[in-house]
Amino acid sequence: MSVHWPPIRFTVNGEKREVTVPPMKRLLDVLRDDLQLTGTKEGCGEGECGSCSVRMNGELVNSCLLPVLQAAEADIQTVEGLAPNGALHPIQEAFLQCGGAQCGICTPGMLMATAQLLAQNPHPDPTAIREGLAGNLCRCTGFMRIFESVVHAASGKLADAAAGEAPHAR
């Protein structure tokens, strides 16, 4: 028995993509299995840990909770889209300098949450940083180095670059 699924089109990291998959397939699985974008991670599969966070149409979403159907015609950014040429984005540079990544498994989601936060609030205060990252669990760092990374990313030129780097948001 073969089912012919209708193609679903969306933009990922600035590139137009089309997939022919069951419409209830999780966006996370489409990114990882069909598009080989394995930077986005699964931690819990129920929207609690935020490891699968991606940005979609200017919002931060848990790709493990999102049927790909809902991503039709959407503009999606994953961690791979932060540094399209392999050179670190200022947010990534800040995480590297400040020790914001340890085991690295929450890092792609944490980076997307930070990008989202800084796009909306280029100079977040400590409370705003905590709120902005509250949906992303890190078990290694105790969050201190991550907060510092965000502050560092938000300082000076980094902030402008970070805010400017929501290029796929419409």
**Is 86 one of the binding residues for other proteins (CB under 8 A)?**
yes
**Is 45 one of the binding residues for other proteins (CB under 8 A)?**
yes
Q: How far is the CB of 71 from other proteins (least distance, A)?
A: 19
Cα separation of 136 and 139, whole Å?
A: 10
Cα separation of 26 and 52, whole Å?
A: 11
Residues 88-104, buried b or exposed e (16+ Cβ, 10 A)?
A: ebbbbbbbeebebbeee
Cα separation of 138 and 167, whole Å?
A: 27
Binder among 41, 55, 152, 168 for other proteins (CB under 8 A): 41
**Is 78 one of the binding residues for other proteins (CB under 8 A)?**
yes
Interaction site with other proteins (CB under 8 A): 32, 37-46, 48-49, 51, 78-80, 82-83, 86, 88, 92, 95-99, 101-108, 111, 129-131, 133-134, 136-147
